[in-house]
Amino acid sequence: MKIVRLFRRFGIAAALLLVLLASACVPLPTDTNWGHMTLAGDPQQILFAFHDRIVLINPQDGSVAQLRDADGNLRYDDQNSPRLWSVQVTGNAQTRFYSNPLFTEDTMYAVSYDTGLFEVDFSNARVENTTGISVGGHVVTDPISDGQRLFLGLSDGDLIALDMTDLASRVWTLDTERGVWSEPLLADGVLYVGSMDHNLYAVNAETGEELWRVDLGGAIADTPVLYDGNLYIGSFARKIFRISLDGQITAEYSTTEWVWGTPAIVDDTLYVGDAGGWVYALGLSADGFTPVWSRQVAGRVIRATPVVTEASVIVASRDHKVYWLERATGAEVRQQNTDAEILSDMLVITPEDNAELRESLLIVSTMANDKLLFAFSLDSGDLRWRYAR
């Protein structure tokens, strides 16, 4: 009966995901597109990983960026056509990207769901190891590195550290009961990582020694935020927690539904959405959380981390919409309809990142092939361009 209510409330895909997570049956549907975005290059452009490929997008117009040499000259293929920055990996039906690549100097590391770790020559848009390196499990979260080790959360069990010199040797493994669905946070030699087994772990990044764990009463699918000497994180227990760096829960705040996404913290105020479409603004102090405002903005899950500007809090939902809210009150200022579900975190690119831009843009990724990316003016919310597969 409970599952039926979940299906009605959140939709088939979200309810199925919740049931899979709760039962530790973690494989993702392979026909789902869940793109991830980051900034790359000089000037900065939008690196977009989705399905079985990674493309570099020109933020001015949403076209695939042209490949250039070190002097800025266009590079051409055998048919004398300009080469585009696009790579595609081969494999089985599960060769899909659910995470952002990792950069070290001119090498990019991309991890696909089906255990493949790929090295990409960024300057030449070339995959160096076309078959990928097995990491021994499924990956749905971003890799991170401390320069010597590459850290990966496996959705079916462990947090692992790979030797960066060969990417094949495991330095250590931290066993979790139900896997890792969120990127670890690395701070001062310590990894903080949430697991679907309800625990937030603190781990020595060099040795893999577990320093402490704390049970947050529900699955953890988001990355903690380190702010003013404390960790802030939500869980499927329908709560936001403040946790000290020695692993003590020092404050908590109850939300209407479970929290899937990472909070944003700006000027001592935490902003986060929940699975019921609610958005919360919580003041942070020594005493804990003080509600500033909260309201149900969307009709479905808000997973993406809110984008906070001087005037607005921007959230995106599985109800196909992006909402601009007044930062002081939470009142809706405007909305844009993408006609497709949104789960991925949004991206902001500014003229400081790319001097050819005349305004800051909000980039939104949806789960529909015919409308993969939208670029909106960060301030006005007007549509600037759209990218489709």
Domain spans of the chain, in order of start: 1-29
pLDDT of residue 157: 82
Residue ranges of the chain whose pLDDT lies below 70: 1-33, 91-94, 106, 115
pLDDT of residue 14: 40
Distance CA 342, CA 35 (A): 10
DSSP code string of 131-177: T-EE-SS---S--EE-SSEEEEE-TTSEEEEEETTTS-SEEEEEE-S
C-alpha atoms less than 13 angstroms from C-alpha of 172 in its C-beta half-sphere: 12
**β-strand partners of 51:** none
pLDDT of residue 109: 93
pLDDT of residue 107: 86
pLDDT of residue 94: 65
pLDDT of residue 28: 45
Residue 318: CB partners within 8 Å, gap ≥ 6?
Answer: 10, 11, 14, 298, 300, 301, 302, 303, 341, 342, 343
> Which of helix, strand or coil describes residue 2?
helix
pTM given for the model:
0.91
Residue 355: CB partners within 8 Å, gap ≥ 6?
Answer: 43
- Number of H-type helices and E-type strands within the chain: 2, 33
Distance CA 112, CA 132 (A): 9
> Which of helix, strand or coil describes residue 384?
strand
